[in-house]
Chains A and B, each alone.
Chain A
Amino acid sequence: MKPILTAKNLTKSYAKGILALNEVSFTLDQGKVLVVMGPSGSGKSTLIRTINGLETFDKGELNVLGIKISADSDERKIQKVRRRVGMVFQQFNLFPHLSILENITLAPIQVQKRNKKEAEEYGMNLLCQMGIESHAKKYPGQLSGGEQQRVAIARSLALKPELLLFDEPTSALDPERINEVLDAMRRLADQGMTMIVVTHEIKFAKEVSDQVLFIDSGKILEISSPEVFFSNASHERSRKFLNQIN
């Protein structure tokens, strides 16, 4: 297995010397699903957002899909990463002035310079996979939260990414809408997509993940398989966290 992502000693501090990331190092192999867990404010969102350059870091090195990124990498290099790494947000962040299909085809047409027809065909294909092809002509505001999030997943898939980042994809959803999104993610994992998922969904983490990363105060406290993490976590802090959210 070749590693798709290597982080080495990533460190980031906000003002007043508070460390958001503290010497974070880990690797992720192709086709694996990494679930990131941790209490709020622990730095899990910051961690996942540094991977596609939405957050900068101060020290350390990141190797994403063979592209080396350091603290002083310029926007162009980060854009190269973004074109190959998809991201799904907590608040969906769809573009409200564009139709569902336009949301999905915007990046393929503008960034990858694919022709419109081909991009639309592929977009419809993705919408079918997500089970929302009937909404293609609608606008984001006309869809439910769960549907919007599935559109967001389709949008990130439209660039044929090699790595998908999920930043709490189900936290803004109504409880009865969570499963439709988790199911879509599960199918992606089954198809062999490499994913990093920040989530509090323990059931999903247990069933789908290959590795669980627990982070607190910007420091990785443990990385272990889900079997070990959920039954026999090695670190005191992770056991306490699991007790609280269970």
Chain B
Amino acid sequence: MNNINPNLNTNSFIKIKKFLLSKSKYNFCNFIFFVISISLIFNFLTWIFINSNWKVVTSNLNLYAFGSFPPDQQWRPILWFFSLLSITFITVYGPKWNWIRKNLIFGWIGTVPLGIYLLNGGLGLNPVMTRHWGGLTLTILITSCSILFSLPIGILLALCKRSSIFLIQKLSSFYIDVMRAVPLIAVLFFGQLLIPLFLPVGLEIDRVWRAIIAFTFFVSAYIAEDIRGGLQSIPNNQIEAAKSLGLNKYQINIFILIPQALRVALPAITNQLIGLFQNTSLMSILGLMELLGVSRSILANPEFIGQYIEVYIWLASVYWLFCTIMAFVSKKLEQKLTINKGY
């Protein structure tokens, strides 16, 4: 334990400190750092504005956004984007009226069936096959559907894991442990290749839906653990108070435990959802034409061959923008839902 002794090596320590803190040394370091960063920024900017050719992005904006969705029907995904944007706006900047606060959640849930209806067609709209879905539209659709399905499943798994019934508790623990031990790409392969084999003949699930199912299976296990953490943070006296009012187990879960646990788990859940959004890009390996898949097919076009850097910088900024929006909304939600603990 000699090296903890502050008296040892004092001399050399002082020398090093002197050297590090000397002004000339500081200035020298600063100068080097300055030169390097300026040249980096300069090179980057000249490349962006002079050497690069953004035609690969600008002439394909339609493809990035909608994939091969029929051009005369593209108002449908646009309408859906607009509804998503407006509900985001209402969530963040909307008035604090009680009925808005209470019904906002239904608005969010409603955007998913709305999106499916608008993309899929039927009921008065021309049907569009899922193989024409693509680009950012598909990325957002996979993300939002997976979120919608995995949240309730995650809550249910978390509650089951705390259940007093041995079998239920073990089964849910087993499921969560298995899902967390398997890499996502394996789950996605499983969804794409094995689900069709297991299904009875004649029943077929579309590729997009198989992807959503696989993502839901995977993410719900993680969300379950986040919510379980939230549940554990609620003091036992909340349960006692609810019991003493005559509430039964289900009412205690629904009205007391879950609302409080969700608030606690919100930052962790946001993490999972941002991860989910980025991980949808894995589907390009499995042949879906989501944002990355579309980009790969554009790069395969002889006209744009070799323009990887432009495309990937563009992709990075799109992913960055959407992840930032998600993080921002979650931060605002957190602020709105924060409760002054009055235990």
Binding site for B on A (CB under 8 A): 52-54, 75, 79, 82-83, 85-87, 89, 91-97, 106-107, 110-111, 139-143, 148, 155-156, 159
Contacts and interface: CB of A to CB of B under 8 A. Distances in A.
B243 A82 contact: yes
Contact of B342 (A52, A96, A110): A96
A107 B121 CA distance: 45
B245 A91 contact: no
Nearest to B237: A93
Contacts of A155: 245
Nearest to B254: A110
A95 B243 CA distance: 12
B246 A89 contact: no
Nearest to A53: B243
The 10 closest A-B pairs by CB, nearest first: A141-B340, A140-B342, A93-B241, A141-B342, A107-B245, A83-B246, A87-B244, A82-B246, A111-B246, A93-B237
Nearest to B249: A75
Contacts of A148: 342
B237 to A, nearest CB: 5
A102 to B, nearest CB: 9
Question: Chain B CB within 10 Å — which of A91, A97, A141 has the most?
Answer: A97
B343 interface: yes
Contacts, number: 80
Given A54-B244, A106-B245, A97 B343 contact: no
A89 to B, nearest CB: 6
A132 to B, nearest CB: 14
Interface stretch (B31-39, B47-55, B213-221, B255-263): B255-263
A110 B251 contact: yes
B341 interface: yes
Given A111-B251, A139-B339, A141-B342, A159 B260 contact: no
Nearest to B343: A91
Nearest to B337: A97
Contact of A93 (B238, B260, B340): B238
15 contacts: A54-B243, A82-B243, A91-B343, A93-B237, A93-B240, A95-B241, A95-B256, A96-B339, A96-B341, A97-B260, A110-B247, A110-B255, A140-B342, A141-B341, A156-B244
Nearest to A102: B255
A91 B248 CA distance: 22
Contacts of A54: 240, 243-244
A139 B340 contact: yes
B247 A94 contact: no
Contacts of B340: 96, 139-142
Say what secondary structure dominates the interface of chain B.
Answer: helix
Interface of B: 237-238, 240-248, 251, 255-256, 259-260, 263, 339-343
A111 B247 contact: yes
A107 B260 contact: no
Contacts of B242: 95
Most B C-beta atoms less than 10 A away, residue of A82, A83, A95? A95
A91 B237 contact: yes
Contacts of A156: 244-245
Contacts of B237: 89, 91, 93
A200 B41 CA distance: 72
Contacts of B245: 82, 106-107, 111, 155-156, 159
A65 to B, nearest CB: 13
A148 B241 CA distance: 14
Given A107-B246, A110-B247, A97 B342 contact: no
A61 to B, nearest CB: 21
Nearest to A99: B98
B244 A52 contact: yes
A55 B341 CA distance: 26
Contact of A106 (B248, B255, B263, B339): B255
A143 B340 CA distance: 10
A94 B342 contact: yes
A33 to B, nearest CB: 19
